[in-house]
Structure 1
Amino acid sequence: MSGPDAETRLARAALARVAEPGDELVGRWLAELGPVGTWRALRDGGPRPVRAPADRWDGLRLRARHARPEADLARITDLGGRFLCPGDREWPSQLDDLGAARPVGLWVRGPCSLRFVALRSVALVGARACTDYGAHVAAELATALAERGWTVVSGAAYGVDGAAHRGALAVGGSTVAVLACGVDVSYPATHRELLGRIAERGLLVAELAPGDHPTRGRFIQRNRVIAALTRGTVVVEAARRSGSLITARHARRLGRHLMAVPGPVTSGLSAGAHRLIRSEATLVRDAADIVELAGDMGELAAEEAGPAVPRDLLAPRTGQVLDALPASGPATAEEVARGACTSPQAAEARLRELSCLGFVERVADRWQLCRGDPRHADEGDARAGVGA
């Protein structure tokens, strides 16, 4: 594997075991001392960096005494995975936008290249205790995005996350689960089978070393990676205090597209998504809306068109003649011509055309609408006063 040398890779693996995800203080040490220098200082009791609180430094040193990076690297190899460092070909450069909070490294399981699948990726996040509506929308969005060649990224949690992963897998699409634990830990336990499928066909990604278990803080920090990795974040369903709103805040801060799906106004699980739509998120309804925002220039959603009705197929001048006929009762060609602002001869020609199409019928020397007028029903109401 190209990229950092073995000593740097070992140091980063050690620091991934010692430091908590998103620790900006450690991130600044890495920038000042480098991975090897930071690890040696912790491991060997080197001089404490400037601005490092004593208790914090002591706690990290305590963890460092128990770190076994060689064993962690051997473990990820046994799992068929790898440890990615900044500078590796597979490292997604967009994670660098996190600055000092950038991951020290990433433990990855799965056959895909993380950098490649993240090029066209969207995060689908939302409530764990989602409604049937939320699960349905998440699965439908994920399926449609996967069919368009987009990678679906989420957190493998209950609810919206799980539905998004399953939707992508259902059509053979690519999906990435960013975990708040080691890639060998099945959390939640009931998602063991789902996590196995993702590892076989997509990617499991974690900042935590193998064997590490989730905590509340690790879930929160995980969300920043989801936001940074993708082109945009879609909040499918979220209450006012949903954790998915943390992902939304990270996406906005990082300059990523922020989107939300509207839900029933009577549902408390829609309140968070609706607040985002009112303030900073773009309302999206389907995969086409998402791709139009997050995709390349020119990937536009198809223009929405109502159902075609016979009236829509008429030439504009013919439609004007039809509109000039009174809603009830017959009219002469001259009266119709006056209403359509055309000549009587032209009106007569258009009326004959309309007669062949079943819109009008002749009564002696006058014309009237057919009883089975094939125009859209709403038009009758709109024209009710034409002949009044």
Structure 2
Amino acid sequence: MTAAPPEAPAPPSEEDAELLARAALTRVLEPGEEHGGRWLREHGAVTLLRLLTGPEPQSSALTGVRPQRLAGYRRRAELADPRQDLERAAASGARFVCPGSAEWPTQLDDLGDARPIGLWLRGRPHLRTWALRSVAVVGARACTPYGAHMAQVLATGLAEHGWVVVSGAAYGIDGAAHRGALASGGATAAVLACGVDVSYPRGHAELLGRIARQGLVIGELPPGSHPTPTRFVLRNRVIAALTRGTVVVEAAHRSGSLVTARRARELGRSTMGVPGPATSGLSAGVHELLRGEAVLVTDAAEIVELVGAIGELAPERRGPVLARDHLDPETARVLEALPAGRTADADELALASGTSADDVIGRLYELHSLGFVERQGDGWQLIRHPPATGTQTGTVRRGGR
């Protein structure tokens, strides 16, 4: 009896075919390549991959690049093995999401043809939900102690306000921002310029592990991919588009974090900067932003006021409230009329304050009860140490809060 031939595997569903094609294309196209994004828009991922792996004449549909570049894409496409990449990702606790899936953050669509083909994620939180309430905190790698302190304090405050802190996991400001969020038990996400299973920089291997356990590690490149200078620059557009706003803590004139901030501004996101010493070269780029398109911020509450919902207001800053601030204007004028170092009678004070002697006497007794003046015979004089404050409150909330 002849054995029945084995059944052919069922073809992948349309959704699975799209995911497999996009996973393969992350091996073919570099992040942010707009001609690749245009091909995706015109042909779809499945057809584009077929054009790149089919007979060469089909590639004539792919215009806008030189033949040498197209030949390079075709070689990459032939070597791509999306199933192996997905298995490798799963082994490291990662997954792949692409446009149209429930977890895809639709604000990334603002990038147009430069939108990521898909995103590789390591960590359990739901990316789309987290991205809705996220802020980027970026800055110099070779930061000052002041910059590191400010990044950590801002990240801690944002996390305590329920915001996700997004950065690039680099040394300096990025690392300080991630640590500030983690230390407060808050949410943080790292956007990498390499595969999410690659620890880069190596000195941040432990930090990236903590982020993956407590938050999210995000990347456009497939497992095992290593960073290049160009990929770092292109990674910044994802940070800018993914978040509600970008805060630059320290940056020199040619810092990549300024690219992130300006791209955020182009996308309609809030752009913010933390001021530093006027003599610091590491704050020069931030100060340039603040002279133009950025808003000055000094703490998490001010950031939340810019990126949050209506009513999430920062406290209004003001100096200490003195006891004399509570005096009505007429009483305050009598107090100001009293000369320093000697007594004065009611008639002299009435002339100096522009009111009657009877009114002055009434005001003087009020000032006496409040501890501002004392009586000496028929005259009055200032107390050497008047009450310093009438309240300990140094800030008030705008909007009656």
Q: SS of the residue aligned with 2:44?
A: helix
Structure 1 contact 237–272 (Cα < 8 Å) conserved: yes
Q: CA deviation at 1:312?
A: 2.5
Q: CA deviation at 1:4?
A: 6.7
Q: 2:42 aligns with which of 27, 32, 36?
A: 32
Corresponding residue of 1:250: 263
Separation in structure 1 between the aligned mates of residue 49 and residue 162 of structure 2, nearest angstrom? 40
Deviations 1:264-320 (A, max 9, x none): 112111111111111221111111111111111221111112123222233444323
Alignment-mate amino acid for residue 164 of structure 1: A
Alignment-mate amino acid for residue 59 of structure 2: P
The 5-angstrom pairing of residues 178-217 of structure 1 reads 178-217=191-230
Separation in structure 1 between the aligned mates of residue 194 and residue 178 of structure 2, nearest angstrom? 18
The 5-angstrom pairing of residues 325-336 of structure 1 reads 325-336=338-349
Q: CA deviation at 1:374?
A: 3.5
Q: More displaced, 89-98 or 363-372?
A: 363-372
Separation in structure 1 between the aligned mates of residue 388 and residue 372 of structure 2, nearest angstrom? 8
Q: 2:293 aligns with which of 264, 280, 284?
A: 280
Alignment-mate amino acid for residue 18 of structure 2: T
Corresponding residue of 2:99: 86
Q: 2:78 aligns with which of 55, 65, 68?
A: 65
Q: SS of the residue aligned with 1:47?
A: helix
Corresponding residue of 1:324: 337
Alignment-mate amino acid for residue 47 of structure 1: S
Structure 1 contact 292–300 (Cα < 8 Å) conserved: yes
Deviations 1:124-179 (A, max 9, x none): 10000101111000000000110001110000000000000000000011001000
C-alpha RMSD of the superposition: 1.6
Q: 1:47 aligns with which of 40, 43, 59?
A: 59
Corresponding residue of 2:381: 368
Q: More displaced, 279-288 or 331-340?
A: 331-340
Corresponding residue of 1:238: 251
Corresponding residue of 2:184: 171
Q: More displaced, 217-226 or 47-56?
A: 47-56
Separation in structure 2 between the aligned mates of residue 93 and residue 278 of structure 1, nearest angstrom? 31
Alignment-mate amino acid for residue 36 of structure 1: V
Alignment-mate amino acid for residue 97 of structure 1: D
Deviations 1:326-360 (A, max 9, x none): 23422222332344344333321221121122210
Alignment-mate amino acid for residue 247 of structure 1: T
Corresponding residue of 1:352: 365
Separation in structure 2 between the aligned mates of residue 56 and residue 118 of structure 1, nearest angstrom? 34
Q: More displaced, 365-374 or 241-250?
A: 365-374
Q: 1:76 aligns with which of 89, 97, 101?
A: 89
Corresponding residue of 2:116: 103
Matched, 1:158 2:171: yes
Structure 1 contact 142–167 (Cα < 8 Å) conserved: yes
Separation in structure 1 between the aligned mates of residue 208 and residue 349 of structure 2, nearest angstrom? 70
Deviations 1:42-89 (A, max 9, x none): 122333223342111111001111111001111222222211111111
Alignment-mate amino acid for residue 109 of structure 2: D
Alignment-mate amino acid for residue 200 of structure 2: Y
Corresponding residue of 2:24: 14
Structure 1 contact 128–158 (Cα < 8 Å) conserved: yes
The 5-angstrom pairing of residues 215-226 of structure 1 reads 215-226=228-239
Structure 1 contact 109–205 (Cα < 8 Å) conserved: yes
Separation in structure 2 between the aligned mates of residue 205 and residue 342 of structure 1, nearest angstrom? 73
Normalized against structure 1, the TM-score is what? 0.93
Matched, 1:301 2:311: no
Structure 1 contact 123–234 (Cα < 8 Å) conserved: yes
Separation in structure 2 between the aligned mates of residue 172 and residue 260 of structure 1, nearest angstrom? 25
Q: SS of the residue aligned with 1:374?
A: coil
Alignment-mate amino acid for residue 182 of structure 2: L
- Percentage of identical aligned residues: 62
Q: 1:286 to 1:272 in 2, by over 3 A?
A: same
Corresponding residue of 2:154: 141
Separation in structure 2 between the aligned mates of residue 375 and residue 15 of structure 1, nearest angstrom? 70
